[in-house]
Structure 1
Amino acid sequence: MQLVLVRHGKAEDPAARPSDLERELTTTGRSTVKAMAKGLRLCVSGKVAIWTSPLPRARQTADILANAFRVKKIREHDAIAAGDLEVLASDWRDLDPQPKALILVGHQPHLGSWAERLTGAVLPIKTAAALAVDLDEDSALSGMLRWYAHPKVLAGLADR
């Protein structure tokens, strides 16, 4: 299975809401995610499942991706916001049937830590950036980095 880690789009300034947990995507964040989603569709094929952090900025990003991939059901997973990769790996191992790709929409610093743990690669995961890991069949917690893309690169793919 391919694991695709996506950081949510640009969110409101922390001072805009009483709590960081309530921050939503900005207009720019929404448009960037819509553009990158078109390119992401060219990089990810087959049956796709989408899991997201329950925080609004991640959920809004996941909703845009679900629309682009025509995924009807998104799973909110508290372990994404909590940064608990072990719980996530246990749950994705149990998926039946296994999707060809599982897109996880989350936050920094967790996504960067997970990428490093799974592949050994240290990556600057900017807002709306994405990376794909081909998971090892024998271990859900290791894999090979397939690609990493900045949102402008993904959006540019769709423009070609």
Structure 2
Amino acid sequence: MKIFIIRHAKAEILAQSGQDFERNLSEKGKNDIKIMAKILKSRGFKPDLVFSSSANRCKDTAKRLFEALNIKQNIKLRQKLYDANLNYILKFLKDIKNANSVALVLHNPLATELCEYLSDCVIQNLPTCGVFCLENEDEFLNPTKANFKATFFEYPKKYTK
């Protein structure tokens, strides 16, 4: 079982009168998605299921990433992933059936917390547009503390100056 934890790409700064949920991707975020698509393609990235927060910046990250990878994928939007906590996401993952790999497009701090909890790695921060891949040998998804092995941790700043 593989889990790809993806933090949304860089978003526009929130205007004082704006709503956080409605924030769109910045130009830097859009460019970072292209960088990550190349990296993920070289790593054979092709999850069976994709779930995303329904916030604009997450759903746009997912849509653009899969388009850049030329992967036809039904992205399942979930409102609750916008402000979910670790307990919710662990239960959410346990309820997933019939998938060998799952991608989650999330927000921080949940994305970082999930990476650290499942892998027992200390990454301190999953950067915007970052992807943390976890893997275990279980046939079914049973996410518990530190039962996954981190297989890669990629983010755009590793490849840009």
> So what's the TM-score if we normalise by structure 2?
0.82
Which structure shows the bigger proportion of residues in helix conformation? 1
SS at match of 1:113: helix
Which residue matches 1:140?
143
Q: Distance between the aligned counterparts of 1:4 and 1:73, measured in 2?
A: 16
> So what's the TM-score if we normalise by structure 1?
0.82
Q: Distance between the aligned counterparts of 1:9 and 1:46, measured in 2?
A: 19
Which residue matches 1:125?
126
Cα 1:43–1:153 change in 2 (3 A) is farther
Q: Deviations over 1:98-125 (max 9, x none)?
A: 1x32111111111111111111112121
Which residue matches 1:158?
none
Contact 2:132 2:153 in 1 (8 A): yes
Find runs of 4+ consecutive structure 1 residues off by over 6 angstroms: none
Alignment RMSD? 2.4
Deviation of 1:128 (Å): 0.7
Name the count of aligned residue pairs.
Answer: 154
Cα 1:6–1:17 change in 2 (3 A) is farther
Q: Distance between the aligned counterparts of 2:27 and 2:59, measured in 1?
A: 15
Cα 1:126–1:71 change in 2 (3 A) is same
Deviation of 1:45 (Å): 4.1
Cα 1:46–1:108 change in 2 (3 A) is closer
Unaligned runs of 5+ in 1: 156-160
